[in-house]
A and B are shown apart, each in its own frame.
Chain A
């Protein structure tokens, strides 16, 4: 394997750094913070550098390479028109410190995006600041906290989450200082209203929930759950991770939610973060709007000189909500992510409802295709549905429990076998309530042919013997990783041969 840092060529090769503006003594750095020796940067020429990264990209697997049914992650295609918009020079070259009168175009896009997101979720106000779904969750529960403090309800310290919730829900609430109460799901994976009733009270601050839930099931009792929580004075939080399934059909607002976060990369489109720039705006109902982080974009009629600089009949300004919780991100969130998503939303408009319907249709079709092919191949006894339902939403779960029990083949083995077939594996071992779980989400951008082929290949993997599958994958650049070893023996810097 070629390693960039091993290319420690001759002095003078590669890119020359300009001289430093200030010398070390002029910088006045404390001596304990100064480098003891020069860093060992690789010395590479431009073609060597290009080859290195091209080589790396060929070892990568992404939605642009093949089918990526990673459940819960909504790995859909990113239309390239998004990139065109985001890279328009007038947008891409903006500096966040530029004054308002130079940013009217961008601010109008921000305003429109706030409005569009509010409309589709049935909310009244939106902030585009949070840069990830989990940060959106944290921002929203902080708004809840300020809301209760404002009402003098300091005793509301508990946040309720179902046991099938995304792990970030309890984590966000705990970070804001709330206590967590977990409630068990019913056997069919849906919310247990009796358990909810048993835990709500005057100490209830909020309930956090996704709908459809992590099993891909629509929570039919959601309105009832909302009124149980509202009746004791609590608030409802909608985790937007699965919003792709219901867009345009219903909305969190209609279900009684007070706040929601949007995963722009899942429900709309923008490349998935992987630690890079993401975006997790939140929307809230009117009673929570005064607590949103600052700034959000507002508009008014232009006056005086503004009339000449306005891009339409309004003047857009940064606005600080009255009782704001403060800033949650430097500058104005990740503008690039917002712009890509705005381009996508503008491209589809009301057709987003069709998009969402296709996501649900594809998931249901794939589920039935897998059962159909499994029957034909005689491997239908090796897995069962993770949830007992006729119709799933945008994703579905299978339990490989029977394969594990009869043949010693685990969900992880099947996932690794799928890698050998040229697919990204579905999500495994989540949600935790399904044993040997495999969670599959094809998204709306895949064709029927892709789904049919995947269903056949999935069954081919199940026909392999246990020993072969324990050793899979064999065709990938890296063979099966010992995840336990990797998690326990972290290697965080390049080990040089002479060290």
Chain B
């Protein structure tokens, strides 16, 4: 296996100085006394990985080839690793350099990318990948780390890498999240989804009471979820399905031959899809039709926000027009792992209270299988 290494050497510099991120402010931060954070964190991860590789936990004897640029965006932090050298890093780097490095690694046919950075770095990598499904393993090193591809610590990232190389983890879709710059300008701290990435996250095998059970892959699960919704529409052709954003829902749509937007809200009704609707358009659809409707939402990121991350179109008025009984969460088992409750932040206190009074929301987790999950109190 070939593992590409990406270090954004400027990531995390702004943290101690109270910046909301380090993009474009590296020089300023260094002058103010900030020290390298990202590189040393990658160093720590690699050192842990080499330890694990020598231990009995490496039962398959994996020995990956690391692929990196020499210098500050890679090689400088790969102590004791005989890596495949591509080209030298520039002495000062920007998002464009991160993108160039990622594209170079894709050309070099890496099987996964181990990177150190924050939310901004993740967005740069995902944008550069442009749909390549190369799994990402993030060494947390930035100011903000909302995206689902981050391991909790550099050591944890090393463990994830070893498990992935041994084939114990399946890759699953996760959201790439970052601060919503628009709302931040207005003084609010809101996180929204910017894209999606693949990351090794879900154990391939579940230890049951008496045996090891191979779990359905992400693709099979999504097919099951899609068939469930497909059956609901077959049973009631009048049913209006309002699709929320996110990769899980979009892939379900693919199975049903419905083209959905990744980040927008789409309505599917009587065979027609109305894509990427804004609040006014959503209300228009919802008020001119009073039959059955179903809003599908996927919990976002590690904090499990079902409502309140990104989709400003899903305003309190829209949610009321849909009706609280017509909301169904959708989550794959990899999402449900470690998700014991969901958060709801509609932006309307009364509506939030209504959700909390119900205490539970329904999540579809497989074909004809639903789970109820607690709504976290505000």
Contacts and interface: CB of A to CB of B under 8 A. Distances in A.
Contacts of B30: none
B57 interface: yes
B374 A184 contact: yes
Interface residues of B, number: 30
Contact of A488 (B57, B167, B358, B373): B167
B368 interface: yes
Contacts of B362: 181, 199
B167 A484 contact: yes
Contacts of B209: 72-73, 166-167, 427, 430, 439
A486 B56 CA distance: 18
A412 B168 CA distance: 15
Contact of B372 (A178, A181, A428, A485): A181
**Chain A interface, DSSP helix/strand/loop, else mixed:** mixed
A174 B360 CA distance: 23
A64 interface: no
Contacts of B167: 484, 488
B59 A482 contact: yes
A182 B207 contact: no
B313 interface: no
A198 B358 contact: yes
Nearest to B358: A198
Interface in A154-184: 163, 166-167, 170, 174, 178-184
A429 B207 CA distance: 6
A467 B210 contact: no
A72 B358 CA distance: 34
Nearest to A241: B209
A194 interface: yes
B212 interface: yes
Contacts of A483: 205, 212
A432 B167 CA distance: 21
B359 A194 contact: yes
Interface in A403-431: 408, 412, 427-430
A476 B266 CA distance: 59
A482 B59 CA distance: 8
Contacts of A428: 207
Pick the most buried of B362, B365, B372: most chain A CB atoms within 10 A of its CB.
B372
A166 B204 CA distance: 20
Interface string B37-60: 000000000000000000111011
B107 interface: no
Nearest to B360: A198
A487 interface: yes
Chain A interface extent, by class: 35 or more
Contact of B365 (A182, A427, A482, A488): A182
A65 interface: no
B371 A181 contact: yes
Given A198-B358, A484-B168, A73 B210 contact: yes
A180 B368 contact: yes
Nearest to B369: A180
Interface in B332-348: 340
A464 interface: no
A183 B372 contact: yes
A92 interface: no
Contacts of A72: 209
Contacts of A467: 55-56
A194 B374 CA distance: 10
Nearest to B359: A194
Interface string A309-340: 00000000000000000000000000000000
A102 interface: no
Interface of A: 72-73, 163, 166-167, 170, 174, 178-184, 194-195, 198-199, 408, 412, 427-430, 432, 439, 467, 470-471, 482-488
23 contacts: A73-B209, A167-B208, A167-B209, A174-B368, A178-B368, A179-B368, A182-B365, A182-B371, A184-B340, A184-B372, A184-B373, A194-B360, A195-B360, A198-B360, A198-B372, A199-B360, A430-B207, A467-B56, A470-B55, A471-B56, A482-B59, A484-B167, A484-B204
Given A195-B372, A487-B212, A488-B167, 12 more contacts: A73-B210, A178-B368, A179-B370, A182-B365, A198-B359, A198-B360, A199-B372, A408-B57, A430-B207, A430-B208, A467-B56, A482-B59
**What 9 A-B pairs have minimum CB-CB distances, sorted nearest first?**
A429-B207, A470-B56, A182-B371, A430-B209, A198-B360, A179-B368, A180-B369, A483-B212, A181-B370
